Amino acid sequence: MLLLTVILAVAALTSAGQPATAQTPAPTTCEEGVGIRARVQNQSSDDAGAGTREPIEGVEVFVVDGDGNEVGRGTTDATGIVLICLGERGDYTVTLVEDTLPDDFALAGESEFTLDESSFTTSIRSLNFFTGESSRTSLTFFEKLAQRTADGLRLGFIIAITSVGLSLIFGTTGLTNFAHGELVTFGAMMAYLFGETLEIPFGIAAVIAVVLGGLLGFVLNEGLFAPLRRRGTGLVSQMVITVGLAILMRNIFLFQFGGDFRFLSDYNSQIAWDLGPIAVTARDFTITVLSAIVLVSVALVLQRTRLGKATRAVSDNGDLASATGIDTAKIIRLVWISGAALASLGGIFRGLDEGINPDMGGSLLFLMFAGVTLGGLGSAYGALIGGILIGVFVEISTLFGVPTELKTVPALVVLILVLLVRPQGIMGQRQRVG
């Protein structure tokens, strides 16, 4: 039932999450040699640190080689992207022609990038040029707070979705799964593979990715961790195995997809809606609504169904649940399947929001740990509440002097404080040890 709920929610992306305007995706590869993909975007919410970006069409970009000869020139399309194909790796200078920017926009940062041969770790080198509206007025603290809270809720919902499986796997088996972040990356990568590479409609591609994520969870449990549990392998040893598994999966993703960020083109470039003090795109609004629906569905399944009650019973006390006739092996298997499917769904949402790269799940992992620790280790409800709180806290922290690049640090501080002050978390219960 949980997996069916997830699939139906993702399928809603086909209608609810359609782009604001139809756009032809920019080319993604060069037939021969290497290429430079330049993206020009306007950061319309810089003062709030929101990172809401809009593509700029019609901006000229040209490339010269090490001898000063022009070897390529192009103009950004409706998605704000231009791909300039080159012959071979070498020294190049990429320049944006500022005179081709719209009148109301001013370049924020350098107009020129210098690349050497070692810069081309993949066949396509991506560069970003950003602008800011020269006539933009400063936002009040209330407007910044409203924007950061909205962004934090979206991030918190994603963390909560991905954290449920992490928390339940710990609750039912005692395993701290450091490979859970790679399940998040797997979902995003599969959505990109089927949606962009194979050009399957995104709603169908997302459903396939979620189903494959659940199948991967089944394979990991039945092929690796269930045999280890039957052999009596210690939890510390199993945890070390998850670390190795995470490294292996991350390197497989890196080998297959490369290290560059990839974007789902149909949902990448959208114009933001102004909802009072909040700027939000149709994509972000859809992600938030679908995430809320999925979280409510998960809570209802855990609270109202026999399967949910059995899952909570195994999570609270596996031995006692087994003594009352509950098939704990079956429950653990379903937890792995549903947890991996939810992680894949969260990866798709995260990929829509921030882009896809092999490290995206790993960078989200410690936010997930912070969320489940704050909410209560092993508690599904705790993971939901803790994930949302961590997401909001991370985004709001930028209003109080925390640099955007370091905004995840306060979440780790929360993790340490919770372990010191209240290790059982918000929803956990104090237990006697010894």
110-124, 166-180, 226-240: least confident range: 110-124
Asked if residue 129 and residue 278 are part of one domain, the reply reads no
* More confident: 289 or 17: 289
How far apart (Å, rounded) are the C-alpha atoms in residues 206 and 344? 9
Arithmetic mean of pLDDT, 176-204? 91
**Residue 23, pLDDT above cutoff 70:** no
Work out how many domains the chain is built from and give that number.
Answer: 2
25-29, 125-129, 149-153, 397-401: least confident range: 25-29
Residue-averaged pLDDT of the chain: 82
Asked if residue 115 and residue 193 are part of one domain, the reply reads no
Asked if residue 339 and residue 251 are part of one domain, the reply reads yes
**CATH number of the domain within which 378 lies:** 1.10.3470
Could you give the percent of the chain with pLDDT greater than 90? Answer: 25
Q: What is the per-residue DSSP string for 186-252? A: HHHHHHHIIIIIS---HHHHHHHHHHHHHHHHHHHIIIIIHHHHHTT--HHHHHHHHHHHHHHHHHH
Asked if residue 132 and residue 153 are part of one domain, the reply reads no
Predicted confidence at residue 247, as pLDDT, reads 95
Q: Is residue 363, in this structure, part of any structural domain at all?
A: yes
Q: Is residue 157, in this structure, part of any structural domain at all?
A: yes
Predicted confidence at residue 17, as pLDDT, reads 43
**Residue 47, pLDDT above cutoff 70:** no
Q: Is residue 323, in this structure, part of any structural domain at all?
A: yes
> Strand pairing partners for 278?
275
Q: Is residue 48, in this structure, part of any structural domain at all?
A: yes
* More confident: 346 or 321: 346
Asked if residue 297 and residue 380 are part of one domain, the reply reads yes
Asked if residue 181 and residue 112 are part of one domain, the reply reads no
Could you give the percent of the chain with pLDDT greater than 70? Answer: 85
Asked if residue 411 and residue 328 are part of one domain, the reply reads yes
Domain boundary among 119, 138, 157: 138
Predicted confidence at residue 384, as pLDDT, reads 85
Helices (H) and strands (E) in the chain, counts: 14, 11
Per-residue pLDDT tens for 288-325?
Answer: 899 999 989 988 988 888 888 888 888 878 788 888 88
Q: Is residue 13, in this structure, part of any structural domain at all?
A: no
Asked if residue 97 and residue 149 are part of one domain, the reply reads no
- DSSP code for 89: S
Predicted confidence at residue 433, as pLDDT, reads 47
**CATH number of the domain within which 123 lies:** 2.60.40.10
Paired tokens of 11: 């399928």
Asked if residue 196 and residue 340 are part of one domain, the reply reads yes
Asked if residue 241 and residue 118 are part of one domain, the reply reads no
Predicted confidence at residue 415, as pLDDT, reads 81
- Listed ranges 203-217, 256-270, 380-394; the one with the highest mean pLDDT: 203-217
Of the CA atoms within 13 Å of residue 369, those in its CB half-sphere come to 20
One-letter amino acid at 119 equals S
Of 333, 347, 334, 346, which Cα lies nearest the Cα of 305? 334
Q: Is residue 175, in this structure, part of any structural domain at all?
A: yes
Per-residue pLDDT tens for 134-163?
Answer: 434 456 778 888 888 888 899 999 999 999
Q: Is residue 27, in this structure, part of any structural domain at all?
A: no
Predicted confidence at residue 248, as pLDDT, reads 94
Asked if residue 127 and residue 174 are part of one domain, the reply reads no
How far apart (Å, rounded) are the C-alpha atoms in residues 79 and 263? 11
Confidence category of residue 51, pLDDT binned at 50, 70, 90: low
Rounded to two decimals, the pTM is: 0.70
Predicted confidence at residue 48, as pLDDT, reads 45
Asked if residue 247 and residue 151 are part of one domain, the reply reads yes
**Residue 14, pLDDT above cutoff 50:** no
Per-residue pLDDT tens for 223-279?
Answer: 999 999 999 999 999 999 999 999 999 999 988 887 777 777 667 656 667 777 787
Per-residue pLDDT tens for 64-77?
Answer: 988 888 888 889 98
* More confident: 49 or 427: 427
Confidence category of residue 8, pLDDT binned at 50, 70, 90: low
For 68, the domain range is 35-138
How far apart (Å, rounded) are the C-alpha atoms in residues 129 and 107? 8
Please classify residue 256 by burial: count the beta carbons closer than 10 Å to its beta carbon, then call 0-12 exposed, 13-18 middle and 19+ buried: exposed
Arithmetic mean of pLDDT, 111-135? 76
Q: How many residues does the chain have?
A: 434
**Residue 20, pLDDT above cutoff 70:** no
3-7, 94-98, 369-373: least confident range: 3-7
Domain boundary among 138, 162, 190: 138
Predicted confidence at residue 311, as pLDDT, reads 87
Domain boundary among 106, 121, 138: 138
**Residue 114, pLDDT above cutoff 70:** yes
Predicted confidence at residue 19, as pLDDT, reads 43
**Residue 202, pLDDT above cutoff 90:** no
Paired tokens of 175: 């395993």
**Residue 109, pLDDT above cutoff 80:** no
Paired tokens of 409: 């640090």
Predicted confidence at residue 407, as pLDDT, reads 77
How far apart (Å, rounded) are the C-alpha atoms in residues 34 and 60? 20
Q: Is residue 428, in this structure, part of any structural domain at all?
A: no
Confidence category of residue 206, pLDDT binned at 50, 70, 90: very high
